[in-house]
Structure 1
């Protein structure tokens, strides 16, 4: 990032932090993709709270960004297992925020599995969670009862530009890996699993590139939307998997189970918009499948008479090329700070919440002042 761009970004976050600084000083734990521009956001979190630790998503760490953040804050290794066991999760939170009022800033529902027991046993007070992703939103909203408020920005209109551009970056990276192998998108029927904001963006760009696109979604309303937008809609999921030369998983949940992989067409490519642990049940593959490298970021899985290719190890394919969505990501990051302020007020009940439309308008206005030039 050029110095002038860094200055503009820091100035933008300075205004956001002043507008959404809580009256009460509290602590925070931050889960985040540690991408090149992310230190400015991390600093902004530290302005509106006492940032006790940064937990970078392991598949999206820029080394220069990590060094910058490590110089000022504790940076700890993150895994799903870390918060899957109540004792382990509690021990970690006690080591960083014992006795404090803390907000958990999440990307992907990491804190969800043990939130009840941890909230009950923690020596301080967990004021709530701010969640950034659709996957994480589902992990929290599917619980019978929440022990604390969860503010979700996953379905905010301020996230729409990011979601659209992430879909575009997924197609870019997928096409780049195919071309690296001497393949092209054209003539390779594509199946998009999931027709939410990311899946619909992927489907539209593939269609614009002349690719025949079929959509499958478990939601009948979304299937109807896909049909209205001119896409083929699969009646039979297994048949659609068998005929697709490219499968793009955009469900925000488990998209392909172990038994699905043998039904893939020979030579099919599989890519995801999130991590393999969320979208793909690779450990459920039938015995006999062997894997080896078929090029940079391309793995060939093969068994007798069958083979398919997995892109970027099943992790979000767009992170190969930085997953950049430009300054639009700063809208979402500002809303995360607004969510932190909302939790600091201790007004929301123990359920799912959103930032108000008025606060979103304030964020958009500040963002336009800095980036509509």
Structure 2
């Protein structure tokens, strides 16, 4: 990022932080993809809160961004296990924010969900609530029997639509680049897109525009009708769809392929995902008879007698190979997260899932246009 671009981004976030300054200061923990442009967002969170720690997603850490953030904020190691065990989660939060009058958890992927009820009831401070960025995380909180505090989700915000569309584009770009690196191409290789949400539909449309034969599989009948109306072949049977595919793109935010599914793949199939392997792929369920061999940049061959397939980027989000950039549109969603901080600190939301008001979204969009539509 050029110096003038960084200066514009910092000015944008300074404006957003001023527009949505909370009435009360809250402690905060921030889970984030620590990508090259992310320090500006981190600084904005720190300006609006007492930021106790940044917890970067393990597969998306820029060393330079980490070093920059570490100058002013603690950067801790993030794992699913950290917030799976109630005692471990509580010990961690107490070590950073014991007795805080108000604490917000800024999440990407539902990390805090498994132990949220215990943490809320036993934390020596007061947990104001959670802000969640992703559809996968939204579902994790939605699936809890009872939410003990407010969760503000930006996952389904209209301001996230441009990001979701462009992430889909970046997934196809990186998948094609990985294949070309081995001398393979998209054309002539039927593709199966598992999941027809915002990301999956974007992926399917771009593949189709590139002349690829696309089949869609989704467990939601409504999404299957949407895919059919857009001209895609819709698989009735996932097993048969896997057998016919030469490229499988997983975009569900849940487990797309279980251990027994891999045996149905035809030889030489490529698999790529839009999120982490722990969310999309049950690689642990794959029979031990498969050997794993690195056969190119970011490509692993899984092979057993008479069968083999290729996995891109170790099963993690394929677009992170090339930085997963979606341009300045990501700053719309980050601004909405900042607006959500102010809403949580008011303390008037009931437990449950909430969203940022439309008026706040409009104000964010207007500010964004002033800075980035030049």
For this structure pair, what is the TM-score category when the shorter chain's length is used for normalisation? over 0.9
Q: 2:296 aligns to what SS in structure 1?
A: coil
Cα RMSD of the aligned pairs, angstroms, is 0.5
Report the counterpart of residue 150 of structure 2 in structure 1. Answer: 149
User: Does structure 1 residue 333 correspond to structure 2 residue 334?
Assistant: yes
SS of 1:144's equivalent?
coil
What is the match of residue 310 of structure 1?
311
Q: State the TM-score, normalized to the length of structure 1.
A: 1.00
Secondary structure of 1:294 counterpart = strand
Note the C-alpha offset of 1:333: 0.1
User: Could you tell me which residue of structure 1 aligns to residue 55 of structure 2?
Assistant: 55
> Is residue 257 of structure 2 the alignment partner of residue 256 of structure 1?
yes
The within-5 A match list for 1:24-39 is 24-39=24-39
Q: Secondary structure at the match of 2:30?
A: strand
Shift of 1:304: 1.1
1:121, 1:347 → 2: CA distance?
21
* CA displacement 1:247-285 (0-9 Å, x = unmatched): 000001111101101111111000000000000000000
CA–CA distance in structure 1, aligned partners of residues 266 and 349 of structure 2: 49
- Report what 2:179 is aligned to: 178
Equivalence for 2:241: 240
Give the aligned partner of residue 4 of structure 1.
4
Give the corresponding residue for 2:96: 96
Summarize deviations over 1:304-352 as a string: whole Å, max 9, x none: 1110000000000000000000000000000001111111011111000
- Secondary structure, aligned partner of 1:203: helix
**What's the CA shift for 1:287?**
2.5
Report the TM-score, using the length of structure 2 for normalisation: 0.99
Q: 1:30 aligns to what SS in structure 2? A: strand
Paired with 1:330 and 1:223, the residues of 2 have a C-alpha distance of: 31
SS of corresponding position for 2:7: helix
**Distance (Å, rounded) in 2 between the aligned partners of 1:196 and 1:252:** 10
Which residue number corresponds to residue 276 of structure 1?
277
4+ runs deviating over 3 angstroms: none
- Equivalent residue runs for 1:82-231 within 5 Å: 82-100=82-100, 101-231=102-232
Q: In the alignment, is residue 66 of structure 1 matched against residue 51 of structure 2?
A: no
- Per the alignment, residue 321 of structure 1 pairs with 322
Residues 51-95 of structure 1, C-alpha deviations (whole Å, 9 max, x = no match): 000000000000110000001100000000000000000000000
In 2: Cα distance, 1:275 partner to 1:354 partner: 25
What is the alpha-carbon distance in structure 2 between the residues aligned to residue 260 and residue 134 of structure 1? 24
Question: What's the offset of the Cα at 1:155?
Answer: 0.4
Indicate the SS of the match to 1:328. Answer: helix
Distance in 2, Cα, partners of 1:343 & 1:188: 48
- The whole-number CA distance in structure 1 between the counterparts of 2:21 and 2:53 is 19
Query: Deviations along 1:194-250, whole A, 9 cap, x unmatched?
Result: 000000000000000000000001110100000100111001110001110000000
| Cα distance between partner residues in 2 of 1:95 and 1:287 | 40
SS in 2 for 1:240: helix
Between the aligned partners of 1:172 and 1:274, the Cα distance in structure 2 is: 15
Distance 1:106 1:22 in 2: 19
